[in-house]
Each structure stands twice: as structure tokens, then as C-alpha cells.
Amino acid sequence: MRESKVLGLSLTKLTFLLFAAAIIVYPLIWTGGFAIGAGINVGAMAVGALGFVLLIGYAHQLALGQAGFSLIGGYCSAILTVRYGWDPFSALLVALALSMTAAYFIGLPILKLRGFILAMASLAFQLILVYIALEAGAFTGGAEGIPGVPKFGVFGVTFSTDLAFFYFTWLLVILSIVLGLNIDRSRVGRSLKAIAASETAAGSVGIDITIYKVQMFVLSAGLASIAGSLMVHYLRIMTPNIFGFVFALTLITSVIIGGLASIWGGMIGAVVVVVLRENLREFEIPLWEVVIMGALTVIVLILFQRGIAGFIGDLVSRIIPPPPNLNDSATDPIVAEPFYNISSSGGTGALLKVDGAQKNFGSLQAVDNVSCEIQPNMISALIGPNGAGKTTLFNLITGHLPLNSGQIIFDGVEIDKMLPHQIASIGVGRTFQNLQLFDNMTVIENVMCGYHRLAKAGLATVSLGLPNVVAEERKIRDIAVQHLAFVGLADATEQSPSALPFGHQRLLEIARALAGEPKILLMDEPASGLNESETEQLAELILRIRELGTTVLLVEHEIRLVMGLAEHIIVMNHGSKIAEGPVAEIRADPEVIAAYLGTG
Amino acid sequence: MADLLQIDTVSSGYGRTEVLHEISMEIGEGEITAMIGANGAGKSTLLNTIIGTVTATAGQITFKDQDITQLGTQRIVQQGISLVPERRQLFGTMTVEENMLLGAYARTKEQLKGLEADLEEQYNLFPVLLERRRQLAQSLSGGEQQMLAIARARMSHPSLLLMDEPSLGLAPIMVEKILSFIQNLRDAGATILLVEQNAQAALSIADTAHVLETGRLTVSGSAGDLLHNKRIQNAYLGGEDGGTEGLESRIRQMANDYDRRRSLSE
């Protein structure tokens, strides 16, 4: 991780020091009970808001109803402490476990939905919980709720002063931010951003989209639950309306104002929103509060699109510019030597075998009974007129489309029933016709995502920031630098992909695919949009890729590239294979000339 | 012939990055003007600046003797310039005919009268679109999509048609077809500014041509002159021996070298 240093401290450490100092000093300056109470309130909200940042800001899953888990957490804490006399901290932990378990079973079905439908469904889930709480009077106390919730305490030690509870709450805020930052700077954080940018591309490097979405759903439910438990002990009463629609809206507003894409955003937003709300209470007419909050949200969104945290981040990087982009690893910037080597498996026999593949879109037979074999460590090409079914065949191989009938075998494994990320994870890499880069990450992070299938760190180890995770991160970064050097992009590591010229974006996609050390690389029109000299460089790159032991299958219209490079050519027209063979044969084939090559 | 469009020392770009630096050129009426250049040279930016989706930061663009530099895109389209964008940019979930009708969106009430006849004209030009008029645009093949993009652009009655990489992603046989369509349009009196990565193709049908390199026009002349210009041949046409065979044979040579090295190491 490349970071600016101030007074010998990394920016993150400095931020944490200032943050901790602010927490310690705050109650010493504002000693009133009201101020400390507000501080506890903000802390609880900050924990809940972080869940929204991870789920909405990072994974782009618009599950707006996570406050429903605050309701579950709140009730669990209230019932266990009031009715059964439990220790509040133990109750909080049980509530946490319950909420996360519930989230797992709710998340699996609900995360199949997307965008606004997911937002509506999850809000509906929260409102249903509120109504259940209102109706299940015997259990929840109905609209009156459960009064007499005790002060918070840990293992029998009750926090007799609000000050102790304040520090405890903010300790949890710090811990949750550490957890968030650990996730942010890890394989998990990158995978979440990858899913947000392009689920197709995320799948193509082996990222299991469902697992990551559910993990974030469960984690954010846990954070919401903690927020709920803390709020209940602060308010000393639990009623259904505490965690109703208004609470959900306040949390969402906080996150948007604070900055959806920043781990600090939730906390900053919670501070701003609560401070404003408490001050606006002085207006006698409650409507003003709503109007001013609404107007403020709009203004912040217009002025700083990435929220206050984004604004502060920009400001800091302007005052303390990040260190120049140096190649800090020992790698030579123009490594052209092979750096991984696929041992050909089994030696003889096809690496990829398509047998009677059939794909229909309605009455259109996009791929009609196609059989072909791709031999290992060769460059093969798939050509044919537009609409011949080449990309469809690619998508069948990579699992992005299901077959109607037929069979696809890769490296001895039947892959035609597998999901894209499963196929990617056994060594099928691909690049896309219309580039699918992760624009929300830097160039090097894009390539680091490519290494996904070979890396190990999971959410649990990442959250704790274990030493082996740190070591693996360093290794992935070094490998990514090598791959960037291999394609000739060593100088672009810290740039945004969208700032690269088009030809370089293509190279970046290739580097990302290579980082997963694929046994076969499927390239969909890699020369499209490249000029002559770039095409020539691409040809050499493809030859060097074959030297690594990776088999290459091209779909390409740049016929000079195909004819110059391919050892085996397959021609498709109207969904069927019309010819197959070496270059000379294909070039002389009258059917291929009529359908594709033309006479020019 | 008279100049339809004049670009006078125009600079333009995105945010603080200037992409085009003081470009000056004219487009003659009834001609195909080709603009070739590498990725990132600013070819698309030039088209976007003419059509007004990017506003020039300096200089002046004159179309039919009228200053259009500061006009909004809709006004520019109404004046008679139309863009066939890179990668077609069709409205994929609308039908072929709806796409074409949207091409006439900027027309005034007066001009809307001949709508049916104009549709007819496009269908005559591209009969395959008539066959597919009720199909969704995204269901068309790449070549058909390119035809639709051209037809859509023509629906605003442009006297200048800007084309951004019409050959991109098309099979060789389809590239030939599209090129001859473009030639036919010119022969029927259309004025076309053609931006192409495929320099060989562009120069083979163009009358006048320019080379854009890192935001500056470096070579201008007749398309024939450029085809025989040594520097252009080397940089954009794959060497002296002409495009097609040159690049392919160089790639094959490279592949053979790699093969030899591979068999030696085994």
C-alpha cells in the first residue's frame, strides 16, 4: 500500500490518532449529560451506517432495509435483559448471532433481486418486522414496547455513568472502522468493488458473486444489530417505532452525506446528521427539521458527489500529494520473460472439447450443433460473420449462458453445468469485446483482482488483518506488477483504467486475465479498435502468452492477425461450423470466402 | 468545391485535459474527408466537438457560414450535422423503426411532414432494415446495427454526416459493404467526415484525408497522396508493401520465429 507520510506516520495511523484523541477529549469539553447521550447515539448510528457503506457503497447492493436487523437486535437485547435479567453485553452478542443467522437466510433469496426491486423488497422486510412487533404484544409489548431496559454493562459490571457507555460505544466504532479498513484493503474489498463495477467481469476472474453479496449482507446486518442493541440501552426503552422507516432514512441520509464509498463516511455522516438534528429540534415546528435535512442532503450531493469523506479525501491528497509512482518492488520494469508456466496436463488430447453444443434464443438457433476441439498450447481462432454465434459460443464455454444441449469438457472436467466463477477458477480466462474493466479501482488493483482464484484470504482472516493476509497482499501486488510489466503497462499502476488510452485498456484486460494464470485464454476481438502497430504488438503479446503455456482461443475480425497467428481456425456462419483447419485451407475454402472473407 | 464546414484553430478537451490543440481544417461539400490516427489522438474528440457534446475551448467552427461553436448539440443537429457514433450507440431495447424515428427527434414541426417518405428512403437504402423494422435493435448483427446507426443519423436530414469508426468490430465482408454504402452516399451528394482506425479502408474511399497525431493535424492532402506517403505507409498502413499482406506477413514471420525458438528449446 503506497501512502503519504506526515511526521513519520502513515496517513491512516495519523487519522486514527486524531480520531482517538477526539473521542477522549469530547466528553471532557462537552460534559453535559445531553452531549454525552448524543455522543452515544452518534456512535451507535456510526456502527450501523458502516454496514450500509459496505453493502451499498462497496458491493452496490441497494438493501435499504438493514435497519430491520437493528429492530431484531434491539428486541433481543431488551427481552433478554428485562425479562430474563441477562448481562447486557451477553445479550448484545446473542442478538448479534441471531441477526446474522436471520440475515443469512433472508439474504440468500433477497439478494437475487437487483437495484430498486431489491431496495423495495428489503424495505418491505423491515416494515413487516415493525408490524409484527406492533402486533405480537405478548412478546414485544406492542406499541408501548418494553420499558425499563437497564443501563449497559459488560459481564456483570454495569456502566453506572453514561461516560463509560460513551467510551465503550466509541470503542466499538473504532473496532468496526478497523474491520472496515481491513476489508477495504484486501482481496475481499477488491472483490466487492469488482462486483459493483461488473458482475460479468468479476465472475470471469473467479469471484463468487453470491457468496460475497451474502457475506456483506450478513456483516452489515450484524453491525445494524449492534447499533440496535446500543440504542436500546441508551434510550432505556424498546418500541417498534424506534427502528421504523424514519430510522432507516436517517441511516441512509447519514451514509450519503458522509460518503458511500468511504469506510469513514458512515461515521462522519452520523455525526453531521445527529448534530444537525439535535440543533434543529429548537425549531418549534417539526416540519422544519425534515425540510432542512432534506435540503442539506441535496446540497451535499450536488457539491460533493462522494460525500463529505470524499471531499476531505480530495482535500488531503491535494495538501499532501501521494508519493510519486515508483516501482517499489524489485521487478525490472520491462520484464518480458515468462514468469509462470502452465505444465500441459496429460500431454495428449484436447484441452477444450465442445460436443454438439446447441443454444437457442427463442426460434433463433444462435449456436447449432457445434463440435470442436482446442489443442493445448496452440493459438486457435474462431471467425465468422457478425451474428454467426461466435460470442455466444464463448459465453457457453465460460458459463455466462446455459447450453440447451450438448457437452463442454475442459481439462477433463465437464463444465457445461458450472457457473462462470467456477469455470474461471479451474483456469479458463477471458477478455471482453466491450471492455469490462473495474473503473472503481486502480490499474494495479484490476490486475490484483485477476489473481483471485489463486489467493486464499477470506472475510474472517481479512477482517482480523492477520499477518499471513498482509503477506499474501504483498505477494499479490508484486505479481500484479509483473503482469503489468509483461503487457507493457508497468508505468500505469496507480492510474484509473478510464484514464488509459483505449489500446492500453485492452492490454490491462489481458493482464488481469493472465494474473489468474489461465490454462486457456479466450480473447473476444482483442484487436478491435487497435491500429496497425498496436495490432502487431498484440500479436507478439499473444505469442508470448503461448510461451507461458497458456492456450489461446481468439474471436477476431482482424483477418491479418488471425491468418498470421492462428495455428488452427474454426469458421462459423448462422450458428453452424462451416469449416475448420489450418490457415491455407481456410483461405481457399469457397464457402468461407462467400460467407466471410469476401474477395477484397 | 465550396467548404461546408470550417474549423479554425479549435482547441478542445475534457475538464482540464486539452485533447485537441489548435486544429484548422475544412470539409468540402460532396466529399468524403477521412481522419486517421492512433488511439487517443483525438479523433472522436474532434467529432464530439463539431457536434457539440464537447465544447471547444478556443477557436471557431463555421458551418454553412454560420458560427456553431457555442451552440448546443440539438441546435447543431437542427442546423444539419449528424453523428454516427462509435460502437453504434443504438437504443437497444427499442425497435429498428423506433430508433430511426428518434433520429428525426430534433426536426422542427415543418420538417416532420416528410417523415414517412424519409423512412421509405432509408429502407430503400438498407432493405434489411425493412425486414427487421419491428425487431429490437439489440437483436441485429453488428453489420445491421451499423446500417441502422447510419439510417438513424440520416433521419435528421444532415448535410454533413460524421462517422466514427463505422468498420469497428465488423467482419471483412461487412466492412466492404459498409464502405461501399458510404461511397454510394457520397455519390448521391452527401458530405461525410469519416474517422477510421482502419486507415487502409478510409483512404481507399476518401477524397481528402488528414492525419491526427496527439491532438494536432500533422499531414493533410488528397487521399491518394496519403496512400503513397512513405511516413503514412509505415505508421498507419502496415509498411510499404501495402496494408493487407504487410501486416499479416510480419505477424507470420514473428510467429515463425517464436515457433523456431520453441522447437529449439524442446
Condensed to tens digits (0 to 9), the pLDDT of residues B3-44 reads 899 999 999 988 778 899 999 999 999 999 999 988 778 999
Phi then psi for residue B154, to 5 deg, are: -70, -15
Asked if ipTM goes beyond 0.95, one says no
Mind giving me the DSSP string for chain B?
Answer: --EEEEEEEEEEEETTEEEEEEEEEEEETT-EEEEE--TTSSHHHHHHHHHTSS--SEEEEEETTEE-TT--HHHHHHHTEEEE-TT----TTSBHHHHHHHHTTT--TTGGGGHHHHHHHHHHH-HHHHHTTTSBGGGS-HHHHHHHHHHHHHTT--SEEEEE-TTTT--HHHHHHHHHHHHHHHHTT-EEEEEES-HHHHHHH-SEEEEEETTEEEEEEEHHHHHT-HHHHHHHSSSTT-HHHHHHHHHHHHHHHHHHHHHHH-
Condensed to tens digits (0 to 9), the pLDDT of residues A194-226 reads 999 999 999 999 999 999 999 999 999 999 999
Report if residue A339 sits inside a domain. no
Check whether residue A502 and residue A360 sit in a common domain: yes
Count of domains for chain B: 1
Report if residue A324 sits inside a domain. no
pLDDT at B159: 94
Check whether residue A403 and residue A535 sit in a common domain: yes
User: Residue A420's domain spans which residues?
Assistant: 352-597
- Minimal CA–CA distance to B169: which of A385, A527, A506, A528? A528
User: Residue B220's domain spans which residues?
Assistant: 3-265
Question: Distance between CA atoms of A546 and B32, rounded to whole angstroms?
Answer: 42
What pLDDT band is residue A138 in, cutting at 50, 70 and 90?
Answer: confident
Decide: B27 and B64 in contact? Cβ < 8 Å: no
pLDDT at B109: 76
Burial A251-273 (b: 16+ CB within 10 A, else e): bbbbbbbbbbbbbbbbbbbbbbb
Q: What is the CA radius of gyration of chain B?
A: 20
Decide: A75 and A133 in contact? Cβ < 8 Å: yes
Report if residue A568 sits inside a domain. yes
Count of domains for chain A: 2
Residues 6+ positions from B182 with CB-CB distance below 8 Å: B32, B163, B166, B192, B194, B205
pLDDT at A342: 75
pLDDT at B16: 77
Check whether residue A421 and residue A523 sit in a common domain: yes
Compute the average pLDDT of residues A72-99: 95
Structural domain ending residue among the three candidates A277, A294, A319 = A319
- Minimal CA–CA distance to A583: which of A549, A559, A551, A600? A559
pLDDT at A348: 64
Check whether residue A416 and residue A294 sit in a common domain: no
pLDDT at A343: 65
Report if residue A525 sits inside a domain. yes
Check whether residue A211 and residue A356 sit in a common domain: no
Q: Which of A341, A379, A557, A589 has the most B C-beta neighbours within 10 Å, making it the best mutation to test the interface with B?
A: A557
Condensed to tens digits (0 to 9), the pLDDT of residues B9-19 reads 999 988 778 89
Question: Distance between CA atoms of A144 and A33, rounded to whole angstroms?
Answer: 26
Report if residue A270 sits inside a domain. yes
Decide: A458 and A189 in contact? Cβ < 8 Å: no
Question: Distance between CA atoms of A420 and A229, rounded to whole angstroms?
Answer: 40
Separation in Å, CA of A535 to nearest CA in chain B = 9
Residue of B nearest to A383 (CA): B171
Condensed to tens digits (0 to 9), the pLDDT of residues A429-445 reads 999 988 999 999 999 99
Q: Which of B251, B256, B260 has the most A C-beta neighbours within 10 Å, making it the best mutation to test the interface with A?
A: B251
Question: Distance between CA atoms of B121 and A573, rounded to whole angstroms?
Answer: 30
Check whether residue A210 and residue A298 sit in a common domain: yes
Check whether residue A360 and residue A430 sit in a common domain: yes
Report if residue A340 sits inside a domain. no
Check whether residue A108 and residue A208 sit in a common domain: yes
CB contact under 8 Å between B141 and A385, yes or no, is: yes
pLDDT at A333: 43
Report if residue A394 sits inside a domain. yes
Residue A78 belongs to domain with CATH number: 1.10.3470
Condensed to tens digits (0 to 9), the pLDDT of residues A250-308 reads 898 899 899 988 999 999 999 998 888 877 777 666 677 778 778 877 888 788 878 88
Question: Distance between CA atoms of A437 and A364, rounded to whole angstroms?
Answer: 31
Residue B156 belongs to domain with CATH number: 3.40.50.300
Question: Using CB atoms, which residue from A502, A525, A533 is nearest to B40?
Answer: A502
Phi then psi for residue A310, to 5 deg, are: -65, -40
pLDDT at A512: 97
Structural domain ending residue among the three candidates A300, A319, A338 = A319
Residue A564 belongs to domain with CATH number: 3.40.50.300
Compute the average pLDDT of residues B203-228: 94
CB contact under 8 Å between B87 and A434, yes or no, is: yes
Is residue A338 over pLDDT 60? no
Report if residue A326 sits inside a domain. no
| Mean pLDDT of the residues in chain A | 89
pLDDT at B62: 96
- Please tell me if residue B112 touches chain A, with a CB cutoff of 8 Å: no
Check whether residue A442 and residue A553 sit in a common domain: yes
Check whether residue A66 and residue A25 sit in a common domain: yes
Check whether residue A579 and residue A513 sit in a common domain: yes
Residue A527's Cα: distance from chain center in Å?
29
CB contact under 8 Å between A531 and B39, yes or no, is: yes
Mind giving me the DSSP string for A330-391?
Answer: S--TT--S----PPPSSSSS-SEEEEEEEEEETTEEEEEEEEEEE-TT-EEEEE-STTSSHH
What pLDDT band is residue A334 in, cutting at 50, 70 and 90?
Answer: very low
